Amino acid sequence: MIDKTCQWERLDRYFADGQTVMIGGFGVPGTPFLLIDALLNSGASGLTLVKNEANEDHMGISKLIETGRARKLITSHLGLNATVIGMMNRGEIEVAFYPQGILAEKIRAGGAGLIGILTDIGIDTILKTEKQIIEVHGRPAIVEPALRGDISLIHAAVADTMGNLIYEKSARNFNPLMATAASRVIAEAERVVPAGELDPDHIHTPAAFVDHVVPIPRLTEEYGVLAHHVV
Amino acid sequence: MIDKTCQWERLDRYFADGQTVMIGGFGVPGTPFLLIDALLNSGASGLTLVKNEANEDHMGISKLIETGRARKLITSHLGLNATVIGMMNRGEIEVAFYPQGILAEKIRAGGAGLIGILTDIGIDTILKTEKQIIEVHGRPAIVEPALRGDISLIHAAVADTMGNLIYEKSARNFNPLMATAASRVIAEAERVVPAGELDPDHIHTPAAFVDHVVPIPRLTEEYGVLAHHVV
Amino acid sequence: MSYKEKIARRAAAEIAPGQVVNLGIGIPTIIPRFIEPDFPVVVQSENGILGMGLPTVRGLEDRNLIDAGGSYVSILPGASFFDSALSFALIRGGRLDIAFLGALEVSETGDLANWIIPGKYAPGIGGGMELAQKARRVVVTTTHTTRDGRPKILRECTLPLTAKACVHTIITELAVMAVTPSGLVLRELAEEIGVQEVLEKTGVPLTVPKGTIPVF
Amino acid sequence: MSYKEKIARRAAAEIAPGQVVNLGIGIPTIIPRFIEPDFPVVVQSENGILGMGLPTVRGLEDRNLIDAGGSYVSILPGASFFDSALSFALIRGGRLDIAFLGALEVSETGDLANWIIPGKYAPGIGGGMELAQKARRVVVTTTHTTRDGRPKILRECTLPLTAKACVHTIITELAVMAVTPSGLVLRELAEEIGVQEVLEKTGVPLTVPKGTIPVF
């Protein structure tokens, strides 16, 4: 039986300077905080990070950015992270913004072995500046090349030992897309079960996409409810 | 509470001559045989059908094609349907073939509101003839425009009254893609349950994509195991 | 009732039974307070939720269940979760009936600017561009003027656009206006607001239909 | 053992533990018979299955569970089902270790033709083009010659290509050959087959390494 479970101590070898790293999550839900800590502790730098947002100040990938480990951030919106916006404005990190769904499609296209997608989103805005524009059936289309990573860091609610993943509620977000779009896909899981326990119709990410499953021993505080978002 | 359940008798009004109709299924699993019969009985003709294959002779959409109701078929492979291959060879129906996964991506792109996708599949073959080719990062890419239908006919194992759908095993195939890619999406379901009964993490097609849910009173013979495929 | 609540209450009335809507940040987030509990509407959130309900009751927050703005939310029967690609497929693919969005500026032809003030405010793009460009209807909820009293409704936007000719209806604390091929048309007045005040605070000509203007 | 079974048995030996493989129509479909029951391999099927097992035991067919060729199949623990877009994402995205495919013609540079004979046989494209072009390794299983004895391995394919320079290994009833930058290389001989026979039935030069050629 294939067993992709992996110990935390073994992760170091997979990280290297200059890698492009995709990181799941939209806010706290789905962000792999412990894998981010592992990447932080590995000492890797010059990274290009791909994530919907930069988490909030001093949390998640903001820690990587604040410690100067990321050269570039490919993202959608930084509205909840004044620290990273400040660093961007001071030129301490290069930031590339995409419309959220187009970022999702670029990652998905990378995972699906496509060269890119064609969209009209932003066609009448400053976004089209510096984009390749072609005509399809007489209609202008922005060329958005596919995006892939060297590594993807994924947070799953449940994994089986073969690497099948299930996400929970709004923690799914970018995780299943990024889980298809990197040369090495590492998933942390809140619960790891033997292969065969998951209903094959309920699996969100099939095992073939996943290289390593790291069991989370205990959810740390970062995974919890954020007091300042409670109304 | 929103209730999208619909009686079979009401379907007639949705069908019209000249429509582009997407039909789920890969072989028997996932083919909406009763919806196909409803389309057949509506008398609509001059149709453009989009389906992975043409089912087998005298089954499913082959009945629409054999009765001359389809002007055109957009598909991937007809290997199991000698009747339709014969009609194609005699010029009785126009057939457009796409690589299976590219057909899936074209439909998905239609559903996702994209203009198209860029792929290198077939780039060194006769497939690229008559295709628009562009260069992306110095690499040739085939432009495949998105595909949408007027109607999609979907087969689900379970639906709720709001239109959420769950598919079973290999009957999923093209159904969730086509369920996003038409102006009107009609799903037949083997079982219809009240909204709230399905686990929100297990739903394959969210309700917003589905316009009508038609309960299947009894699965007809066509849905069963095909004796000639039993080894 | 605050002016924001007035705008949100009027915005809620835009929703027809059975519609799928997305509520942007700011005023739109309080629209649900003004929807009757049994009114059939499906609220989508960009982070992958269909069928959102009210904000979570304090103390019952679920760490895995937030909306796109980061607030803890509840879900209703018939809800579903999905990934970010499918979430925007729904938006771009034409299945979103109404997007309620805030505005920095709106033009008389329905251009919307709400994502960037070059050199001052540039947090990114988020889902707003896709919502503005692809929702079947865009309803803008905004104050009629800026904090220093300048009109937000202009002949042409001065800020970079979110999307061109996308806005159908503008709801402010003073009025409801429709974007039509012949320009902006006054549809409703807020309680105790006169036509003259609206005309003065709008940066473009506003057609005032004959007869009584309904009040909201 | 038939020649097809011999080819399939040898093809099965190409699979390394833990690999993800796709079995095309024809000879590849009988490869599973030659895989040990406890050997860790994951079989993918284009119609949306990962973790296929052997054909279904007669009488236990599931109407919702077929492979891409239409045969009723079983699944193994750890299997999953998915849609056609994800199924080909897996193939094109580089997660398929080996595609076993049949051939009408193969060129010495690894070009493959197996989908169309213009004017005679044109059932469509199916998933073959994506499998051939994007699997990490393509292993062709085929008879060494056509029914009328002409070589299938040629300097250049005469039929329209499925994909260019995609084949890594060719397994026939006579031999195993590798496609290398310096042309085809003989790797193994079938039992009781001599080098001379293979050379004669191959339409292109075949490098024969020094020393004993392993037998399969």
Summarised one tens digit per residue, pLDDT across range B94-121 is 999 999 999 999 999 999 999 999 999 9
Q: Which residues of B touch C85 (CB under 8 A)?
A: 112
- Does residue D187 fall inside a structural domain? yes
* Cα angle B138, B141, B146; round to 5: 145
What does the pLDDT read at residue D1? 86
Specify whether domain A16-97+148-218 bears CATH 1.10.3720.10: no
Q: Which residues of C touch B161 (CB under 8 A)?
A: 78
Contact A163, A187 (CB under 8 A): yes
Summarised one tens digit per residue, pLDDT across range A138-164 is 999 999 999 999 999 999 999 999 999
Q: Which residues of A touch B141 (CB under 8 A)?
A: 115-116
d(CA C13, nearest CA chain B) in Å? 18
The chain A residues in contact with chain B (CB within 8 A) are 105, 109, 112, 114-120, 132, 134, 136-137, 139, 141, 143, 145, 166-169, 172, 200-202
Strand order in the sheet with C153-154: C112-113, C105-107, C153-154
In CATH, what number is assigned to the domain containing residue C15? 3.40.1080.10
Query: Which residue, among D109, D106, D188, has the nearest Cα to D151 in the 3D structure?
Result: D106
Amino acid found at C44: Q
Active-site residue, from D46, D105, D108, D173: D46
Q: Which domain holds residue D32?
A: 3-207
Q: Which residues of B touch A105 (CB under 8 A)?
A: 112, 114
D-interface mutation test, from A161, A165, A198, A203, most D Cβ less than 10 A away: A203
d(CA A200, nearest CA chain D) in Å? 4
Contact D91, D101 (CB under 8 A): no
Q: Is the dihedral of CA B206, B208, B214, B220 positive or negative?
A: negative
Out of B1, B111, B196, the one facing C93 most closely (by C-beta) is: B111
- Does residue D213 fall inside a structural domain? no
What does the pLDDT read at residue A230? 83
D85 contacts B229? CB cut-off 8 A: no
Amino acid found at D200: E
- Looking only at Cα atoms, what is the longest distance across chain A? 56
Overall domain count for chain D: 1
Q: Is the dihedral of CA C7, C12, C13, C14 positive or negative?
A: positive
A169 contacts B141? CB cut-off 8 A: no
A76 contacts C126? CB cut-off 8 A: yes
What does the pLDDT read at residue B1? 82
Taking CA atoms, A42 is separated from A8, A16, A37, in Å, by 11, 8, 8
Active centre residues of C (catalytic): 46
D51 contacts A111? CB cut-off 8 A: no
Q: Which residues of chain D have pLDDT under 50?
A: none
What does the pLDDT read at residue B50? 98
SS (H, E, C) chain C: CCHHHHHHHHHHCCCCCCCEEEECCCHHHHHHHHCCCCCCCEEEECCCEEEEEEECCCCCCCCCCECCCCCEEEEEEEEEECEHHHHHHHHHCCCCCEEEECCCEEECCCCEECCCECCCECCECCCHHHHHHHCCEEEEECCCECCCCCECEECCCCCCCCECCCCCEEECCCEEEEEECCEEEEEEECCCCCHHHHHHHCCCCEECCCCCCCEC
| Count of pairs with CB atoms under 8 A, one residue in B, one in C | 74
What does the pLDDT read at residue C158? 97
- Model confidence band, residue B230 (pLDDT cutoffs 50, 70, 90): confident
What does the pLDDT average to over A127-132? Answer: 93
Beta strands in A18-84 (DSSP E): 20-23, 47-50, 70-75
- Does residue C72 fall inside a structural domain? yes
User: Is B164 an interface residue toward C (CB < 8 Å)?
Assistant: yes
Q: Give kind and range of the element (H or E) at residue A103.
A: helix A100-111
Query: Which residue, among B158, B213, B152, has the nearest Cα to B10 in the 3D structure?
Result: B213
Domain ranges of chain A: 16-97+148-218
Taking CA atoms, B91 is separated from B71, B85, B86, B119, D59, in Å, by 10, 10, 9, 29, 41
- Model confidence band, residue A229 (pLDDT cutoffs 50, 70, 90): confident
C142-150 CB contacts, 8 Å cutoff, 24+ apart:
C142/C7, C142/C27, C142/C102, C142/C103, C142/C106, C142/C170, C142/C171, C142/C172, C143/C3, C143/C172, C143/C173, C144/C172, C144/C173, C144/C174, C144/C175, C144/C198, C144/C201, C144/C202, C145/C201, C150/C203
* ipTM of the complex as predicted: 0.98
Contact A135, A157 (CB under 8 A): no
Summarised one tens digit per residue, pLDDT across range A183-205 is 999 999 999 999 999 999 999 99
C192, exposed or middle or buried, with CB in 10 Å at 0-12, 13-18, 19+? exposed
